Amino acid sequence: MEIPRIPRCEYPITIREIGPFDAECASVGMVVRAPTGKILLLDRLKGIYGGKDSSNCEFDPGLGYACPAGHIEKDEHPFYAGLRELEEETGINKALKSASIVLELWASNPCRKAKNHHWYIMLIEIDRELGAIMEPTKHGSLTWADPDVALGFDLEPAWRSILWHMKQKGIL
Ligand SMILES: [Zn+2]
């Protein structure tokens, strides 16, 4: 699958690292990094409004390339929610060398039930480039890319902000 190199989405997402993290929803996102430095990205097909036909992020800001991520369930620890979501979305449950929460953010990205999110961002180092599409109705492809290359992808708006922020902080 050809990856679009020109971002079509400039949907504005505000993020901040300073609390209060008074968001309506809590999510965890996993930046999975191989020894090559490449990170794992999934192409989201459904977006927030579920429309495959909604190729325009102004209409559906949940579309585009994104790191594995998901909502944290009630009483679930963000770290274990991250490992659970990673396995659900990519099948990855082995070859992990390290995993830790490296950032906590407030972001103005919407989902089906909320206008903003309290994000926990995990950095997961993995032995080799693994993974498969486990939810084919949700994700079109799984790609490994250098972070600088990934920033040129058609990223999902929240991940465009998060990855830029991590790059600026020197985490990526
Ligand atoms: Zn949400």
In this predicted model, what pLDDT tens digit does every residue of 63-80 receive, in sequence order? 889 999 999 999 999 999
As given in the structure block, the two tokens for residue 108 are 């103005």
pLDDT at 1 over 70: no
58 compared with 83, residue with greater pLDDT: 83
Give the pLDDT score at 6.
47
User: Three-state SS string across the chain, please?
Assistant: CCCCCCCCCCCCCCEECCCCCCCCEEEEEEEEECCCCCEEEEEECCCCCCCCCCCCCCCCCCCEEECCEEECCCCCCHHHHHHHHHHHHHCCCCCEEEEEEEEEEEECCCCCCCCCEEEEEEEEEECCCCCCCCCCCCEEEEEEECHHHHCCCCECHHHHHHHHHHHHHCCC
Average pLDDT, the chain: 89
Give the pLDDT score at 69.
97
Give the pLDDT score at 131.
96
Distance separating alpha carbons of residues 113 and 133, to the nearest angstrom: 25
Give me ligand 1 centre to Cα 112, in Å: 7
* Residue 62: pLDDT band with limits 50, 70, 90: confident
Mean pLDDT of 78-101: 97
Give me ligand 1 centre to Cα 132, in Å: 24
Give me ligand 1 centre to Cα 79, in Å: 17
As given in the structure block, the two tokens for residue 40 are 């794992």
Give me ligand 1 centre to Cα 7, in Å: 23
- Scanning the structure block, which residue is given the tokens 């492809």? 141
Give me ligand 1 centre to Cα 36, in Å: 32
Mean pLDDT of 27-31: 98
pLDDT at 3 over 50: no
Residues lying with their CB under 5 A of ligand 1, a single-atom ion: 25, 111, 114
* pTM, full prediction: 0.90
* Residue 21: pLDDT band with limits 50, 70, 90: very high
The answer to whether 25 and 169 have CB atoms below 8 angstroms apart is: no
Give me ligand 1 centre to Cα 35, in Å: 31
CA dihedral 15, 19, 116, 114 (to 10 degrees): 170
